[in-house]
Structures are given as C-alpha cells and as structure tokens.
Amino acid sequence: MVEVGAEYGVDVRKMLRGTGISPEMLYGSAVVNGTQELAVAANLVTASGAASGVGLAVGERLSLRAYGVLGFALLTCPTVRGAVEFGLHYLPLTYAVTGLGLCVCEDEAHLIVEEPDSPPALRAFLVEREIAVTAGILRTILDESPPSMRVELRIPRPSLDYETVLDAPVRFDAPHNAIVTNTAVLDLPLPQADPLTKTACEHACHTLLLERSSPGVTQRVRTIIAEGVTDASLVAARLHLSDRTLRRHLAAEGTSLRSLVEEARRAKAVELMNLHQLSVEQVALRLGYADAAAFIRAFRRWTGTTPGAVSGFRRHSNEKPLTTGLGSAQRRR
C-alpha cells in the first residue's frame, strides 16, 4: 500500500499517520495488526483522492508468493475446486478483510466477495483488492487465465479500464461482487499438484491457524518460540513464571513446550525446504539438529514421510521459488 501510495504522490509518513507504524517497521519483521492495516488503507484512499482503481493496484502486487506456505499449498492442490476450498478454509491466514464464499449455480461457479462493514470509499478499496488478488491467484495456479472467467461488480462503470487491469470481461451494476467461471473450471487439474507436499504444507497452515485461536499461555509461548527462544527456563522467565507453573499452564491447555517447539520446527522445515530451497543438511543445521539423520527422523515422525519426498517436488517444478517467509506472509489480528 505504501508503494502504491508513492505512485499517487503520497508521502510515506502521510500514509502511516495515526497508525502506530513507523517507516522503519516496513523493512523489518514487525507484526502489523488488522486495525493498523485498515488505518493505512484509509490513509491511502483519502490521500490519493482516487475514487476507484487503488484497490486493484494494491491487489496486483499481492501475488501468490506473498502468502508464503499457504500460497505454496494452493499450488499443490489437485484441482481448482480443491484450491478454492483449501483457501476458504484457511482464509484467516490471508490478507482478506472481506468474506469470500463459493456458490455453484447451474453451469456457473461464483466466487463471491462480500462487502465489509466499512465506509463506502474503504469498502470499494477492499473489494477491488480482493478481486484483483483472487483473479491473480487463479491465473497462477492454472498457469493461465481460467477459461470463461469474468468479473462482476456492484459499482457503476467507472472511467478506469477495469477489463485491462483484471485481464477479464467486467460486468458493472451487478447484484454482487464476484469472479465467475464455468463450473467445469472447478474440476481442472492443477499442473503442480502434489499430495505429499500439500499434506506437509497443510500441517504448517494448521499450526498457523492454531496460533490465531489458541488461548492464554499457549499463544504467548508460540510467540516467544518464533523469536528463537526454546529453553524452558528462558521461556518461563519471559512470562514471569516458574518452570513448573509454565508446564502446568500448558498442560491445562492441552499441550507442552516440547510439542510447541516441534510444531514450530515442522512449519519452519517446510518453509526452508520448499520456499527457500535449502538442502536437508542445511535445514537440520538451521533447526539445531545434531545431523541430517536426526532431522530426517523428526520429520518422518511429524509428517509420516521423508524430507526428500516433499522437497523433491520443488526440484522438478517450473514454478519460481517463493521467496517470502512464513512471518511476512501472515498478518496477525
């Protein structure tokens, strides 16, 4: 959004005014919450003075790579339908503020983008952004634009050429905001489908989803582990607890420090192998294992398969490596 703002001549400090985000935070690993993001979006919409098109410009920049392991999981689903259902299930891991839903009506499938409860100008921005993102994801997982795809928008026809931006016909004054295709598109096989890699990625997505919903101490421990602290005494000290009290709290929430550390290592292992193309030996070293054999045993325990069975997919894939890590792919709310 800051980059798009610059194209409209909006200074970065004006974009970030009142958000609690400093310009320096844009280039680090700081976590930005949903309220802050919406504040930046509102600043962009107000300062740019553009009635339409700003959301499309932002959405075009959010390629599949921006979603980290979730984006990679979508690539490995067996069909378009599988990818849509997977994406809807893990929607909280995306940047979407709008709701999304799939409606199949006779021979057409409608991926409907719901309008959020926001001021009209911001609402239009968020719908535009999600339409552009979703259309781009469909093109990426299929390696082409879906056959018969069109976009339907509730807004009147603006001066901006939406058809060129979205690379699809656009119907305005429609009853809803949606991407529409023939139902046969849902059953098209994806060229990079791989069940083993999808399973490993789904484990990682499930872990990330749990982080959003886990109560109390568990979530706080996950945050500390993500910073690289795994020693029980250090974790307990960060929480101002004794080791014993920490164990008791985690047990009451149905987990343990060891389980949470392994959960984080599993997610990081998938990221390092598939998103950053590191070898098994390099991953073992990064994760603190004595040697590759110890890491392979742990990976088999987590996933039921070997690292080679999962990472081998990337070596034979035509997709360019995804370079965005797990942390930057998520916005925690």
Alpha-carbon distances of 16 from 7, 19, 60, 332, rounded to whole Å: 15, 6, 21, 18
Instruction: Render pLDDT for 143-197 as a digit per residue (tens, 0 to 9).
Output: 888 888 999 999 999 888 999 989 899 999 999 999 999 999 999 999 999 999 9
Q: How confident is the model at residue 315 (pLDDT cuts 50, 70, 90)?
A: very low
* Average pLDDT of span 245-267: 86
Which top CATH class is 195-327? Answer: mainly alpha
Instruction: Render pLDDT for 264-301 as a digit per residue (tens, 0 to 9).
Output: 888 888 778 776 778 888 888 888 888 889 988 888 88
Q: How confident is the model at residue 217 (pLDDT cuts 50, 70, 90)?
A: confident
Instruction: Render pLDDT for 100-120 as a digit per residue (tens, 0 to 9).
Output: 999 998 899 999 999 888 888
Alpha-carbon distances of 125 from 128, 150, 263, 298, rounded to whole Å: 5, 19, 36, 45
The overall average pLDDT reported for the chain is 85
pLDDT at position 32 is 79
Phi, psi values for residue 197, rounded to 5°: -65, -40
Phi, psi values for residue 149, rounded to 5°: -70, 135
Alpha-carbon distances of 158 from 51, 60, 79, 201, 239, rounded to whole Å: 9, 19, 35, 40, 54
Instruction: Render pLDDT for 41-74 as a digit per residue (tens, 0 to 9).
Output: 999 999 988 767 899 999 999 988 888 899 999 9
pLDDT at position 254 is 81
pLDDT at position 151 is 96
Q: The whole model's pTM is what?
A: 0.69
In angstroms, the CA 104 to CA 102 distance is: 7
Give yes or no for a contact between 218 and 260, defined as CB atoms under 8 angstroms apart: yes
pLDDT at position 214 is 63
Query: CA torsion angle for 90, 96, 101, 104 (degrees, to 10)?
Result: -100
pLDDT at position 215 is 63
Could you write out the three-class secondary structure of 219-283? HHHHHHHHCCCCCHHHHHHHCCCCHHHHHHHHHHCCCCHHHHHHHHHHHHHHHHHHHCCCCHHHH
